[in-house]
Amino acid sequence: MYAFKLGTTMQKLSAKLFNRLTTGGEIFKFPKKCFGQPAAKTHPHLIQAGEVTPGLTKTEYQQRRYNLMQKIIEKESGTHLDSHIVIIPAAAKTYMTQDIPYPFRQNTEFFYLCGFLEPDSLLILEGKPGSLPDHRATLFVPKKDPQKELWDGPRSGIDGAVEITGVDSAHNVEDLGIYLSHYIRDNKNFMTWYDYSRPAHSTYHGREITQFLRDNNYQYIKNPRPLIHSLRVIKSAAECQLMQKTCSIASQAFIDVMKSSHPGVNEAHLYAKMDYECRIKGAEFLAYPPVVAGGNRANTIHYINNNQIILGGEMVLMDAGCECHGYASDITRTWPVSGKFTDPQIELYEALLEVQEQCFLICGQTDVSMEDIFLEMLALLGTQLKRLKVINSDVSGINIQKKTRQFCPHHVSHHLGMDVHDTDEIPRSVKLVPGMCLTIEPGIYIPANCPDVPKEFHGIGIRIEDDVLISNNGPVNLTAECPKHPSDIECVMKRN
Ligand SMILES: [Mn+2]
């Protein structure tokens, strides 16, 4: 880690540099057009003209804001409210220890609605019934500050924020309180849309926003999350391309990790290899701490210690994905570190693969929900487990489902998008429609100590997870490049 805490001498030196900077000295002067995030002018390898973030144009972000205001005004059409104000804070900069920030990840709803990537910002949308599409989008951003920028890099400032995102106007975030008090002065009988149950920014929540809600006597407050999620759950054409990209990067990275695994390999090595390959291929970071679990550790579903040696004859279960330009992938594969499945391993593996492929096909049926796929998965897996004598032949009826859940205690699916567990406001009972992305991830977990189950299966944990886009032409497997058939896995792992 770089030296951040300065000694006295360094502080003096730094003040000297700072004076030269602010008095027009030549050192550390940023080029005229520098922003707090990649832009077409500064990062032409990432951003094309007209885009706010890679692959997403100003028009697309504008459309998202319009769609939200339209939903809000439609929803409240009978309520005689005069206006609506939507308050969406950015995430705060947080620190792991004195002066050392955590890697920053933007608040998803804020990112979705404007694409501005600086911490400690805030978006306000204002609309009046009957006025669409004339709603107003205002960003509040960290003030330009040469001394802070000397350390942390350039900030976009109010002009840069408007130029990058195409919002109607921007202010320094210090002016948020005044802006909100003017809003109360000028508007009566309005609805505030703000996620008070999970405040995205605790400082603004505790200060300006609470003051605003109090000044309005806590009247008419609603959470915008369900409406935003109802938009986010359907991916646009541009988003589908970004989903394919993040899924392809992770799929290719999986192949490299498989190739680098061997008896005696440390789980930490495979973790590092996945991280490295995803970044090399263009992802910003891993979408979540991956599970890299050798042997019986695969039966701990959220195993993330990733610090053991994987022995010859064992399989490794890796659940990992990356975040690329704001979109997450989520893949699980299980493979033998030696490159060759044993007989009991392949028996269980092929049974699970059969179930996983059936679940994928169900996504192509009309009028089907993730809940329907889950019930179908339990039935299919129950049949397979009975055939393999993992479940006794005398278990029948509803007890098969109960017993099956013991060997697969998690759901088979969740939405996928900007968040790994995307749009959690959308219940799993909602029918799948084109534009949705979801995972299909059945598993079989047989702990090392498991009486009644044939001994050869003890200590085996397997999950197979693909990412699926529901398209007008049926389900598309976005992670098809990542091998999952035993022969394909063995082929990838063969050394030349
Ligand atoms: Mn998943």
Ligand 1 centre distance from Cα of residue 330 (Å): 5
- CATH topology for 32-231 is Creatine Amidinohydrolase; Chain A, domain 1 (3.40.350)
Q: pLDDT tens digit string along 136-193?
A: 999 999 999 999 999 999 999 999 999 999 999 999 999 999 999 999 999 999 999 9
- C-alpha distances out from residue 174 to 139, 171, 178, 208, 211, Å: 12, 8, 8, 10, 14
Ligand 1 centre distance from Cα of residue 415 (Å): 9
- Is residue 361 a contact partner of residue 494, using CB atoms and an 8 Å limit? no
Q: State residue 26's pLDDT score.
A: 47
Ligand 1 centre distance from Cα of residue 331 (Å): 7
DSSP 44: T
Give the whole-angstrom CA distance, residue 138 versus residue 162.
9
Ligand 1 centre distance from Cα of residue 348 (Å): 20
E strand spans, 98-148: 100-101, 122-127, 136-141
* Token duo for residue 445: 């977990």
Given a cut of 60, whether residue 12 has pLDDT beyond it is no
SS3 at position 414 = coil
Ligand 1 centre distance from Cα of residue 164 (Å): 33
- Is residue 225 a contact partner of residue 425, using CB atoms and an 8 Å limit? yes
SS3 at position 127 = strand
- Is residue 238 a contact partner of residue 255, using CB atoms and an 8 Å limit? no
SS3 at position 72 = helix
Average pLDDT for the chain: 92
Ligand 1 centre distance from Cα of residue 406 (Å): 19
Domain ranges for the chain: 32-231, 234-493
Ligand 1 centre distance from Cα of residue 148 (Å): 39
Ligand 1 centre distance from Cα of residue 473 (Å): 24
Ligand 1 centre distance from Cα of residue 113 (Å): 25
- DSSP string over 338-387: TSS--HHHHHHHHHHHHHHHHHHHHTTSSS-BHHHHHHHHHHHHHHHHHH
Q: pLDDT tens digit string along 100-109?
A: 999 999 999 9
pLDDT band at 78 (very low <50, low <70, confident <90, very high): confident
Q: State residue 81's pLDDT score.
A: 87
* Token duo for residue 223: 């959470």
- CATH topology for 234-493 is Creatine Amidinohydrolase (3.90.230)
